[in-house]
Amino acid sequence: MQSIAVESRTSHGLEGDVRQQLPSDLRTPDTERSLIAVSTLPQSQRVDARDGGRHSFRTAPPAERPRLDPLSEDTSAEGAKALTGATPEALIFYQRALLAFQRWRGGSEENLARALELAPRFVMAHALRAYLLLVGRDPRRVLAAKATLARAAALPANDVERRHLRAIGAAIADDYEQAKARLQQILARNPLDALALQVAHSCDYVTGDTACLEGRVANVLPAWSSGMPGYSAVLAMYAFSLEESGRYDEAEQAAREALAMDPNDARAHHVMAHVFEMTERAEDGERWLRDHFRSWGEDTLVARHCWWHLALFQLGLGKIDAAIRTYDERIRGDRSEEVADLVDASALLWRVALAGGDAGARWPELAAAWAPHIEDRFCSFSDMHVMLAFVGAGDEARALLLEQVLVASQSSPTRYGLTTRDIGLPACRGLMAFGHGDDARAIMLLGSLPALAHRLGGSHAQRDVLNLTLLRAVERTRRRW
């Protein structure tokens, strides 16, 4: 495959009307609409330009505040009675696990293990353990959740607990829409169910449900107040949804409010990184992450991903060598096999190559790390990042094997089958064409994606790799005229 490295230019857009920069035989309606969407608008306006980045959701008016559910803060004997199988002592460890989950901190698994050791028939502790396995993109963890669900389903449970178990079952069956619907039923009855909110928000992110991402949190926010455990995490969640809706000023304000309550709220620092990225404030973003390293870089689940954001700021400032060092030391230094870590590695190394950096032997190592996931058949967002590594490495055999898997998967009547057919397969083929130097085909395939690309899941900053590749294909075509 052709090298993807080109001149060191990291602009998000092209000058002028990009339609005039294409040969006439490439100016299809889909391509023109796509290039307008990703190139002629300022970065801050590129999010869902059809409705200005806003959705029809509105924050519900303040209502009579409901009583706190035991899932939120009550660790008394009465609170334990409300949760089937719990004891007051086990409930303390459960609450610690839930709060760590909300705040993206370590300790959830250890506290859950202690809770279940004290109360083996504690239904919601089993449910939280299953959710921890489900909120990601690794099918091996989803399979592990099946056994956890089976143990919980064999226990007596109340109505809310049964709803949680049914949501878990739907997610395991790859029916995320049903899982989200069941979680929303729980939130409609109790907007303070922190676990239901956290998992539903994660599902919205993974499935690219941009409308629900904002509306779900906005609709429950009036029931929360600053004195409640986990409120800063809920506010940070809301800030992220605002950022993904293109409401950057409001997102920054909400994130800063969350940090005023909890300066170590890692997810609020993560929102700030997104705001700086999407508003093209690379210098401010780099400074923010360095100044607040101890808040996001120690004992958090988002540390490596925030290093990824820091590397993007370095690239935006033309510090290609610094970004490569960040890759070597912070992204792939420990050769992590976690899917989320491999995603960050692919996305960063591809951007380094687009900026003209020398990836060297890094691509083959990363491609080899991704190879066991060719047959995952689970997440189109992951498939795209697998293909980035294979194309970057010039690994034609593995790229073709992944393409064959996607062709076979596109007929599956599942969430994954649908996203593979509509987005995953054409996106991966577009990346393959780009790697081969077939820019006409890359433009045709990638140019039809922007209106649907959000359904891949992930954030705008993460999906932007497709836009950047499309624009680079246009630039290469223009230079060959």
The structural domains of the chain, with segments of one domain joined by +, span 18-48+319-479, 77-220
pLDDT value at 46 more than 80: no
CA atoms within 13 A on the CB side of 456: 27
Which of the pair, 4 or 443, is modelled with greater confidence? 443
Whether the pLDDT of residue 12 is over 90: the answer is no
Task: Provide the 10 A C-beta neighbour count for residue 15.
Answer: 9
Distance between CA atoms of 34 and 182, rounded to whole angstroms? 35
Residue 105: strand pairing partners: 300
The answer to whether residue 367 scores a pLDDT higher than 70 is yes
CATH for 77-220?
Answer: 1.25.40
Residue 336 has pLDDT above 90, yes or no: yes
35: confidence class by pLDDT, cuts 50, 70, 90: very low
Tokens of 352: 């380094």
Q: What is the pLDDT of residue 134?
A: 94
Residues 137 and 325: their CA atoms lie apart, in Å, by 27
For the chain, the distance separating the N- and C-terminal CA atoms, rounded to the nearest angstrom, is 22
Confidence of residue 58 (pLDDT cuts 50, 70, 90): very low
pLDDT of residue 136: 85
With cut-offs at 50, 70 and 90, classify the pLDDT of residue 333. very high
Each residue's pLDDT tens digit, 371-380: 999 999 999 9
CB contact at 8 A, 391 and 434: yes
Has residue 345 got a pLDDT over 80? yes
Q: Report pLDDT for 480.
A: 78
Q: How far is CA 258 from CA 92, 295, 296, 324, 430, in A?
A: 24, 13, 14, 32, 40
DSSP 80: H
Q: CB within 8 A of 396, min separation 6: which ones?
A: 1
| 305: confidence class by pLDDT, cuts 50, 70, 90 | very high
pLDDT at 70: 37
Backbone angles phi, psi at 312, to 5 degrees: -65, -40
Q: Judge contact between 398 and 385, C-beta under 8 A.
A: no
Average pLDDT over residues 247-251: 97
Phi, psi (rounded to 5 degrees) for 332 = -115, 15
Average pLDDT score over residue span 11-34: 43
Proportion of the chain above pLDDT 70, given as a percent: 83
Which residue carries 């990042």 as its tokens? 385
Query: What pLDDT is stored for residue 397 in this prediction?
Result: 98
